Amino acid sequence: MTAKPNDRPETELPAELDFASFVPVSIGGSENLQTDIPRIAKDAALMSEIENAVSRIPTRHRLVRGDARELGFIER
């Protein structure tokens, strides 16, 4: 069986993506992750903002069917 990449055109993503632009301003600066993460997790409104922001981050996925031992043809 010969592996074959998906024939659909790939979506172009910017070479440099500023992920910080997706972080909601209401999170504030990160002072101490030991306290920031629980504080954020307990704030339902802030978690909703984060969920909305995550859904706007552009992604690209490529599924290839084939033998995992013979996937040398996949470009990086």
DSSP H or E run through 40 = helix 33-42
Q: Over the chain (76 residues), what is each successive 10-residue block's mean pLDDT?
A: 53 77 86 90 95 91 83 76
User: Exposure string (b/e) for 12-25, b if CB count within 10 Å is 16 or more?
Assistant: eeeeeeeeeeeeee
- Give me the long-range contacts of 28-31 (CB less than 8 A, separation at least 24): none
| pLDDT value of position 11 | 60
Tokens of 62: 């490529």
| pLDDT value of position 63 | 84
Residue found by looking up tokens 């500023």 in the block: 18
pTM of the prediction? 0.60
Number of residues that make up the chain:
76
| pLDDT value of position 31 | 83
